[in-house]
Amino acid sequence: MDGAPQVALEASTAALHVDPRAANSIMLASFILLIHEWFVTLEEEIQRIWMKPWTLFTAYWVAVRYLPFAARVLGVIGLFKLSWSTQVRAATLCQRFVPAAPIILGWAISTGHLALLMRIHVLWERRWLVSALPAFLWTLEFAANVYPVFDRLTIGESDPGLPSCIPTIIGRKAAFRLTSAMCDAVAFDISVTVLLVVKSVSLDRQRSERHPLVRLLLIHGTPTFGKRFTSNRPLAGIGVVLLLNSLNLVFIHATFTIFMLIIPNIVINRLILSLRAYESSCQADMRVAATQPSVHTNRSLTLTSPFGVNTILEAFQQPLHFPAPHAATDHPLSDIPTRPATHAHV
């Protein structure tokens, strides 16, 4: 009887530990998902990113696209090294790989959120008063993800008894940082969602060429997300990104976060490729705009300042692009009248 409480305590403690096999499987699954997405969109990436003049936007694309790769590669390396290491060696490897992968993954999430921030900024005609709140929340989120670089102890420590590089012992500083990063990210998602819906309703009333998000969500519906996600066509709206990211951050879990938090970045990659597709479809109009700097000042700045911040904002200013349908009934947007293509601010 005296040993019963101790047995119960040990059982409850063991139940709280993360199953290494489940964690390893999810880590490998997330890596396979990234590889699959990379192969599916590789042709679009070459045509719409690398075959165009390299600007600051190209560097931003590299960060959005390949930071999740870096985090997963480090995780897989640590996984295989731990499988063939002794307990003492495993503890040493965990001290090396545990801080790196979560930090890079946090950077990837913040980088993806920056795309949503810039999209909102240009949709609201670059009004800094409107985008000030989400910009402030994004800064807090980014700071929470960068802070561990200067303080490795905030990541946590790994249990030497578990053959997996997963922080199971989280101190007070680590808990505060993780809570801050989660709250900042959720607050950012909420603020961006509100601004996006308000602007989408306004564009919907104007029958804008930008394909307002509210109408896109009504036409496509969330059940078709899986089909749209696995197809070669770019995703329709970024509301799915906000929804997924909010759910992931609210119902965060130490194991499944490895797999779930990379999905918003993958969808943002599709969004960027969709915006770049529109720019490719109006190359002739861009050349005409370049000859009229007095009317299209921002686009002339893009040509003369290839490494300026304006190059990134111009990329997120384009309407969403959809491939030409084979039949009028095949395309979900065929019943939406659009205005002639222009390049002025909407």
Which of residues 122 and 326 earns the better pLDDT score?
Answer: 122
Q: What is the pLDDT of residue 241?
A: 46
- Global pTM? 0.59
11-34 residue pLDDT tens: 333 433 444 454 556 667 777 777
Confidence of residue 9 (pLDDT cuts 50, 70, 90): very low
Q: What is the pLDDT of residue 259?
A: 54
Weakest-pLDDT range from 72-81, 166-175, 318-327: 318-327
Given a contact cutoff of 8 angstroms between Cβ atoms, the answer to whether 266 and 33 are in contact is yes
Least confident of 96-100, 207-211, 322-326: 322-326
- Listed in order, strand segments (DSSP E) in the chain are 157-158, 167-169
129-168 pLDDT, tens digit per residue, is: 888 888 898 888 888 877 765 555 444 444 444 444 444 4
The pLDDT of residue 136 is 92
The b-or-e profile of 288-322 (16+ CB within 10 A means b, else e) is ebeeeeeebebbbbbeeeeeeebbbbbbbbbbbbb
b (16+ CB within 10 A) / e for 114-151 = bbbbbbbbbbbeeeeebbeebbebbebbbebbebbeee
Output the pLDDT for position 149: 57
DSSP structure string for 188-225: HHHHHHHHHHHHHHHHHHHT-TT--HHHHHHHH-GGGH
* pLDDT reported for residue 342: 42
The fold of 21-315 is Rhopdopsin 7-helix transmembrane proteins (1.20.1070)
